[in-house]
Amino acid sequence: MLTIRSARWLLSGVFAGLAAAMGAGAWATPQATDKADAADPQARAVRHLRFGTADRPFAADSPWNARPIGVTLGSFEIPKAKNFPTMEDGKWSTGVFVAASDDPPVTVLPLPGRKGIWDPDAEAMREQITIPRWPAGVVPASAADGHGDIVDPVDRVIHSFNVLRFIDGQWRADQYAWTRLDGRGWGEPGHYFQGARAAAVPTMGGLVRAKEIDDGDELFRHALAMSLTHTGLSADPAYIFPATSADTGARSNTGQIPQGALLMLPPDFDVSPI
């Protein structure tokens, strides 16, 4: 079983591509660079991982994998706050686990005292959710969000949970949504909520996976997920494309960045202190 651990983000909020920009622009699908491939075979192997797999989730033209071109940068400065984005592996992280073809099915029930498992895409409570293949050793994040994603390469589906808990020998959860492993990883007409995050995306979207940290490549070849507190997030609009939802408390936001916004560091940004 492959276990993928994530970067830690303190609050569910904006999902931002650090290779992207806030503002208008078109999208370009990733392309391999022959010259760079010849210079670094290990990096070449990373760039040529097949899209839509557990090692490189979502389609090549997904907003997670495509890069914006012709962008326009904004000028809003995210204010300092008690809660801030950071990259760690801890209780606010997300456990991502890949199922094998012979893993057994598991039925997930509602949390004690709850009427059902909230399915936001169907806008309905489910009495139970049966996952056809459930890997051993699943450990969701231990903090309040309790995120955990199950990747099923057989059905090519990501099962995304919020407040996933193992209680008295039974898996239980507060919320469930699913998305295609080889799909966009963002909401679309007819399936607007595709994950357990507030922006309607799976929690594994935009994570820095353990094997990416020292894979020989010079950069992460996908957008990174980023969370902000209410002082950075916008109240109106609360979300923009490609997000299809926002936190329920978005009206109290006082910042200027809607969920789904794309961010980038300007070319002259000094990264040496990082």
The pLDDT, as a whole number, for residue 75 is 85
Rounded Cα distance, 226 and 18, in Å: 9
Q: What angle do CA 43, 155, 62 make, to 5 degrees?
A: 45
Residue 11 clears pLDDT 50, i.e. is over it: no
The number of residues making up the chain comes to: 274
- What are the backbone angles phi and psi of residue 46, rounded to the nearest 5°? -65, -45
Residue 10 clears pLDDT 60, i.e. is over it: no
The pLDDT, as a whole number, for residue 83 is 73
Are 207 and 4 in contact, with CB atoms under 8 Å apart? yes
pLDDT tens digits for range 36-50: 455 555 556 666 788
Question: What's the predicted TM-score (pTM) here?
Answer: 0.83
What does the DSSP 8-state code read for residue 55? Answer: S
Residue 31 clears pLDDT 90, i.e. is over it: no
The pLDDT, as a whole number, for residue 14 is 33
pLDDT tens digits for range 235-264: 999 999 999 999 989 999 999 999 999 888
Residue 111, exposed/middle/buried by CB under 10 A (0-12, 13-18, 19+)? middle
First to last CA, the chain: 33
Residue 162 clears pLDDT 50, i.e. is over it: yes
Highest mean pLDDT of the ranges 71-80, 221-230, 235-244: 235-244
Rounded Cα distance, 200 and 68, in Å: 21
Strand 26-28, strand 124-126: pairing: unpaired
Strand, coil or helix: 166: strand
Residue 154 clears pLDDT 70, i.e. is over it: yes
Confidence class of residue 161 from pLDDT cuts 50, 70 and 90? very high
Q: Which of 100-114, 168-182, 209-223, 249-263 comes out lowest in average pLDDT?
A: 209-223
